[in-house]
Amino acid sequence: MSEDKWKTAITEIKRGEIRVRGYDITEMMGKLSFSDAVFLILKGELPGKEESEMMRAILVSSLDHGVTPPSVLSTRCVLSGGNSLNAAVAGGVLTIGDVHGGAIERCARILQSWGKKPDQISSVAKELVSEFIYKRRRVPGFGHRLHETDPRTVKLFQIATDLKFSGRHMELAGAVETELTNALGKKLPINVDGAIAAVISDMGFDWRLGKGFFLISRVAGLVAHAYEETVREKPMRKLGNWNFEYDGPARREISGSR
Amino acid sequence: MSEDKWKTAITEIKRGEIRVRGYDITEMMGKLSFSDAVFLILKGELPGKEESEMMRAILVSSLDHGVTPPSVLSTRCVLSGGNSLNAAVAGGVLTIGDVHGGAIERCARILQSWGKKPDQISSVAKELVSEFIYKRRRVPGFGHRLHETDPRTVKLFQIATDLKFSGRHMELAGAVETELTNALGKKLPINVDGAIAAVISDMGFDWRLGKGFFLISRVAGLVAHAYEETVREKPMRKLGNWNFEYDGPARREISGSR
Amino acid sequence: MSEDKWKTAITEIKRGEIRVRGYDITEMMGKLSFSDAVFLILKGELPGKEESEMMRAILVSSLDHGVTPPSVLSTRCVLSGGNSLNAAVAGGVLTIGDVHGGAIERCARILQSWGKKPDQISSVAKELVSEFIYKRRRVPGFGHRLHETDPRTVKLFQIATDLKFSGRHMELAGAVETELTNALGKKLPINVDGAIAAVISDMGFDWRLGKGFFLISRVAGLVAHAYEETVREKPMRKLGNWNFEYDGPARREISGSR
Amino acid sequence: MSEDKWKTAITEIKRGEIRVRGYDITEMMGKLSFSDAVFLILKGELPGKEESEMMRAILVSSLDHGVTPPSVLSTRCVLSGGNSLNAAVAGGVLTIGDVHGGAIERCARILQSWGKKPDQISSVAKELVSEFIYKRRRVPGFGHRLHETDPRTVKLFQIATDLKFSGRHMELAGAVETELTNALGKKLPINVDGAIAAVISDMGFDWRLGKGFFLISRVAGLVAHAYEETVREKPMRKLGNWNFEYDGPARREISGSR
């Protein structure tokens, strides 16, 4: 019953042969950088020179952000409960949700949807910002809790400028930043999620792959954290005695017969 | 209470600064390939030229192996149950356990442990194979269910040969292959897990990081499969009507009052 | 800094004492059924007699549904990759998403939102069904792929009738079923997700806990499947040779120098 | 190809019929407590009266242990990253590994293995303790970080005594406690993991199901914590500024051309 067949257009496997998107894995092993191979498997085609450079810079940019993000806490807690490296990394990947790395997806969705409008970029941006302010919604991909100007964003745009890599979505992202500044009276800069969203949109990636770029990069950081937990920490991480608090009902008894 | 501090030597974060193993992320974004950045975060130091090439080849080699492995089934089932891309990828990462990618870890452990012996490689290999055969245990990293000669292994060793990259662990792996062939009377070739185990051991990586190399590479494949499931398949994957079977107790009734 | 304290109103822990929602765990161990204890931890209060019976019936109803659902496939694939029981069960829990058990949450949300309207149930139901049909959306919790009349729903409603347990949300669910039948000209019965949604809404549970009831019940089934996989199956589940298909690009070569 | 069929002896599904271990789910919904239904699906048979009581007490005992265990931290971090209830609970289930709930499995394994010896319980216990002390290994299931005498253990054994429920494994556990006290010169009491291990062994459960009892019980606590996080906390949990520390390499630059 062919309906039950699991189909794929990603990789073909035969005895002694592995071909990704049509290319032999051994040829890829000899000729492709890892970031180009990632581009190929996600996009179905090899990147051009500029795309290759942007892809490399994106994947390097999101490698790690220290011990504080919730994905690292999960990774270390899972490891610490007496689990394997893969389970720990899975716990971290699981944590990278709508508010942690998720802005890439949401911002790319907005840029791709508004970017289709035939109007001039500046008027599209004006309309977009008006609508979000009217609906009292934040535009995902702009502003950062810690970095006033995110160094990764600055670098990513600089690399793009040097390569003359820019398309409608990057222009739209820039115009939205300008409009947000005008509308709010203070700078709400594009953050690294927004910058990646703009770049992958100009590379022609579907916004639904947005979180994927972050995951592929950050998983290296998660592996490093899981390993560090293995070699440097005792098992069974717990909150210390002083940093939790119970504020529920006081002691009581089960009344009557049950 | 400093005991409750979460310590890390991986990445330092300050307002406007992100440094991985001491290197500024923006400098890394301008100068490093993604596989070199991965090497850095795992090892703590930048790779030399040969290590850089080997690392690239390893990460490209494990990108994907089609729709059949259990990690891809899990990824697609999680997605199919109505979950996000990160949850689906987490399901796949979770699946990459002791018998699926896990041979890298187990083989590297053996190579690193036996490789410490001061004897000649050939006699270490002979002793190792004797012991495993005596204990009726398989040596992890040798033999493959599908590929008689794994094309990825051949290519990985060829790249190593071209680079003159070879150390005690790769020699030991080769000698073990020879001894296994002698002892068993048929070829039980090093597979890609064994080859990766040997290479990362010669790079000085701890065997406990073994699964990490596979995870970092394969997560790109898992993202591609999750995305393909999103755009090509209907929700709620199930086993079709004809490929499952119940073989438990026949219908019965709860007797007596409970 | 108290902002960094992790607060909870669920369980208080002191040396030699564990109190859930104020009740001593040892008193609970002596006096409460497991389903009453679950009710307590989720609701914060002990159930009344009718609520206790409904809770028990709900938790028994969702225990398992055979080997076919995607959550069982994930559980078995994770186990099969060489992972522990807890990792396998986590893979299954992960799979129980918006289209697999998720209808409880979505249906309860609708019943709780529409149930607040002051109008008569019959007119609320009529308006609700009109709106969903107009928007071409399915009402979650009605219809089942396999069971024309879901035996679990019938039993759940029968138990509710016997106990005279019924409130505004159960009435609304019944009225929606009637209106759907009228509007579509064929029966689209409440399924077990819809029935559970109605019952927990009448017990006063927030719809955001909807998936929780299913998870707490089904995790027992997932443990049973993971264990059965452990004792009855060989490691490394794979799709057989005949039930997958590659339909991507044909063999090609990497052109030019990269 | 029948080899590709997924077999199960747990639950049979037909149109309009669901039977667990042969029993109709609707009959179960009318007649069984949730803990009896859990016993049935794990064991394949219904419990006797004493087993039913012990099972109930076990499942109530492990419901929750406050906000501090790593499984709760993971659950809350996953939720906090912008993920669904099921993903958050999966993160917690994932965390319940070899050192967190895992002692049930390891202790049951030991009790079942040593319990098979034909000798008197007291001499088996003496030999077991000697061996563990000689090998400098801890006997899992004895001692607790917080509770000198775990109230759950005391209660569980009291219920067992009242029911006259006791078999060879519970006796062995008691004898091991005595021998450990003699050998170490201080009390190392059976903890709740050890007590559960002994009871389920006397019920005839395979030690490989050990973690399952803990999972089935604790998942209710994890659902409660995930829900509490949803309604009481802001998204994106992070370690505060003061409770982490970087102790890796100082700032440095990438030297040479790469």
State the residue for tokens 């092993």.
A29
**Residue among A6, A23, A246 whose CB faces C252 most closely:** A23
State the residue for tokens 């030699």.
C16
Distance from C-alpha of C125 to C-alpha of C134, rounded to nearest angstrom: 14
What does the pLDDT read at residue C122? 96
**Nearest-CA distance B140 → chain C (Å):** 14
Strands B11-14 and B17-20: antiparallel
What does the pLDDT read at residue A5? 83
**Residue among B68, B77, B102 whose CB faces C73 most closely:** B77
Residue of C nearest to D20 (CA): C64
Contacts with A94 from chain D: Cβ below 8 Å: 78, 83, 87, 90-91, 94
Instruction: Evaluate whether C16 touches C26 at the Cβ level (below 8 Å).
Output: no
E-only strand ranges, D54-154: none
- Output the CA–CA distances (angstroms, integers) from residue D15 to B242, D12, D240, in the order listed: 14, 10, 54
The distance of Cα D143 from the centroid of its chain, to the nearest Å, equals: 16
Average pLDDT, whole number, for chain D?
A: 93
Longest Cα pair distance anywhere in chain C, in angstroms? Answer: 78
Distance from C-alpha of A161 to C-alpha of D45, rounded to nearest angstrom: 70
Residue A190: strand pairing partners:
A142
**Nearest-CA distance A18 → chain C (Å):** 10
- Output the CA–CA distances (angstroms, integers) from residue B152 to A31, A36, B193, C125, in the order listed: 14, 18, 10, 62
**Nearest-CA distance C105 → chain A (Å):** 19
**Nearest-CA distance D182 → chain B (Å):** 34
Strands B244-246 and D6-8: parallel
**Residue among B70, B80, B83 whose CB faces C81 most closely:** B70
**Residue among C24, C38, C206 whose CB faces D220 most closely:** C38
**Residue among D64, D73, D206 whose CB faces C20 most closely:** D64
Q: Is D65 on the interface with A (CB under 8 A)?
A: no
State the residue for tokens 């994905």.
A71
Q: Is B32 on the interface with A (CB under 8 A)?
A: yes
- The count of other CB atoms within 10 Å of the CB of residue A255 is 7
What does the pLDDT read at residue C255? 85
A175-214 pLDDT, tens digit per residue, is 999 999 999 888 888 989 999 999 999 999 999 999 999 9
Strands C244-246 and B17-20: unpaired
Angle separating helix axes D49-61 and D34-43, nearest 10 degrees:
100
- The count of other CB atoms within 10 Å of the CB of residue D118 is 5
Spans of chain C below 50 pLDDT: 1-2
Q: Which candidate, D65, D67, D72, places its Cα nearest to that of D88?
A: D72
What does the pLDDT read at residue C238? 76
- Which of helix, strand or coil describes residue A217? helix
Contact C253 A27 (CB under 8 A): yes
Instruction: Evaluate whether A205 touches D28 at the Cβ level (below 8 Å).
Output: no
Tokens of D7: 């077999």
The model's confidence at residue D60, banded by pLDDT at 50, 70 and 90, is: very high
How many helices and strands in chain C, by DSSP H and E? 11, 5
What does the pLDDT read at residue A1? 38
Q: Is B102 on the interface with C (CB under 8 A)?
A: yes
Lowest mean pLDDT segment, chosen from A47-56, B12-21, B50-59, D27-36 = B12-21
Contact A25 B209 (CB under 8 A): no
Residue of A nearest to B89 (CA): A93
Distance from C-alpha of D84 to C-alpha of C211, rounded to nearest angstrom: 9
Instruction: Evaluate whether B208 touches A230 at the Cβ level (below 8 Å).
Output: yes
Lowest mean pLDDT segment, chosen from A102-116, B194-208, D139-153 = D139-153
Instruction: Evaluate whether C219 touches C89 at the Cβ level (below 8 Å).
Output: yes
Strands A6-8 and C244-246: parallel
The model's confidence at residue D2, banded by pLDDT at 50, 70 and 90, is: very low
Contacts with A78 from chain D: Cβ below 8 Å: 70, 74, 91, 94-95, 97
Instruction: Evaluate whether B16 touches A151 at the Cβ level (below 8 Å).
Output: yes
- Which of helix, strand or coil describes residue B147? coil
What does the pLDDT read at residue C199? 96
**Nearest-CA distance D236 → chain A (Å):** 7
Distance from C-alpha of C63 to C-alpha of D25, rounded to nearest angstrom: 9
Q: Which candidate, B19, B33, B72, places its Cα nearest to that of A39?
A: B33
**Nearest-CA distance C123 → chain A (Å):** 31
- Residue of C3, C4, C7, C8 to mutate, testing the D interface (most D Cβ within 10 Å of its Cβ): C8
**Residue among D78, D235, D239 whose CB faces A68 most closely:** D239
Contacts with A28 from chain B: Cβ below 8 Å: 60, 63
Q: Is C31 on the interface with D (CB under 8 A)?
A: no
Residue B2 pLDDT greater than 50, yes or no: no
Q: Is A237 on the interface with C (CB under 8 A)?
A: no
- Which of helix, strand or coil describes residue C60? helix
D partners (3+ CB pairs within 8 A) are A, B, C
Contacts with B108 from chain A: Cβ below 8 Å: none
Contacts with C66 from chain B: Cβ below 8 Å: 244, 246
What does the pLDDT read at residue B3? 56
Residue of A nearest to C18 (CA): A251
Contacts with D12 from chain B: Cβ below 8 Å: 246, 248
CB pairs below 8 Å between B and C: how many?
122
- Output the CA–CA distances (angstroms, integers) from residue D1 to A5, A149, C108, in the order listed: 14, 60, 43
Distance from C-alpha of B118 to C-alpha of B194, rounded to nearest angstrom: 22
Distance from C-alpha of B74 to C-alpha of C95, rounded to nearest angstrom: 9
Instruction: Evaluate whether B159 touches B57 at the Cβ level (below 8 Å).
Output: yes
Tokens of A27: 């040829």
Report ipTM (2 d.p.). Answer: 0.95
CB pairs below 8 Å between B and D: how many?
122
Contact B73 C100 (CB under 8 A): no
Contacts with B2 from chain D: Cβ below 8 Å: 245
Tokens of C73: 């496939």
The model's confidence at residue B257, banded by pLDDT at 50, 70 and 90, is: low
Contact A68 D236 (CB under 8 A): no
Nearest 5°: phi and psi at C241? -65, -25
What does the pLDDT read at residue A145? 61
Residue C65: strand pairing partners:
none
Distance from C-alpha of D251 to C-alpha of D11, rounded to nearest angstrom: 60
Mean pLDDT of the D159-165 span: 94
B12-27 pLDDT, tens digit per residue, is 998 889 999 999 999 9
Q: Which candidate, A29, A99, A108, places its Cα nearest to that of A70?
A: A99
Q: Is C109 on the interface with D (CB under 8 A)?
A: no
Q: Is A69 on the interface with D (CB under 8 A)?
A: yes
Instruction: Evaluate whether B218 touches B178 at the Cβ level (below 8 Å).
Output: no
- Percent of chain D whose pLDDT exceeds 70: 95
E-only strand ranges, B99-236: none
Residue D9 pLDDT greater than 90, yes or no: yes
D173-226 pLDDT, tens digit per residue, is 999 999 999 998 888 889 899 999 999 999 999 999 999 999 999 999 999 999
The model's confidence at residue A2, banded by pLDDT at 50, 70 and 90, is: very low
Q: Which of residues 143-202 of A touch B (CB under 8 A)?
A: 146-149, 151-152, 154-156, 159
Tokens of C7: 């607060």
Mean pLDDT of the A107-117 span: 97
- Which of helix, strand or coil describes residue B78? helix
Q: Is C231 on the interface with A (CB under 8 A)?
A: no
**Residue among D22, D28, D31 whose CB faces B249 most closely:** D22
- Percent of chain A whose pLDDT exceeds 70: 95
What does the pLDDT read at residue B146? 59
Q: Which of residues 124-143 of A touch B (CB under 8 A)?
A: none
B67-104 pLDDT, tens digit per residue, is 989 999 999 999 999 999 999 999 999 999 999 989 99
Distance from C-alpha of D98 to C-alpha of D117, rounded to nearest angstrom: 26
Q: Is D65 on the interface with C (CB under 8 A)?
A: yes
Instruction: Evaluate whether C43 touches D174 at the Cβ level (below 8 Å).
Output: no
Q: Which candidate, A250, A213, A180, A227, places its Cα nearest to that of A54?
A: A213
For residue A215, what is the enclosing H or E element?
Answer: helix A210-232
Mean pLDDT of the B54-58 span: 98
Q: Which residues contact B137 (CB under 8 A, 6 or more apart)?
A: none
Residue of A nearest to B75 (CA): A90
**Nearest-CA distance B35 → chain D (Å):** 13
**Residue among D95, D235, D236 whose CB faces A83 most closely:** D95
Residue D239 pLDDT greater than 80, yes or no: no
Provide the sign of the torsion angle of the four alpha carbons C239, C243, C248, C254, taken in this order.
positive
For residue B46, what is the enclosing H or E element?
Answer: none
- Percent of chain A whose pLDDT exceeds 90: 82
CB pairs below 8 Å between A and D: how many?
122
The distance of Cα B90 from the centroid of its chain, to the nearest Å, equals: 15
Q: Which of residues 72-101 of C touch A (CB under 8 A)?
A: 83-84, 86-87, 90, 94
Distance from C-alpha of C228 to C-alpha of B245, rounded to nearest angstrom: 14
Distance from C-alpha of C130 to C-alpha of A114, rounded to nearest angstrom: 32
Contacts with D36 from chain B: Cβ below 8 Å: 258
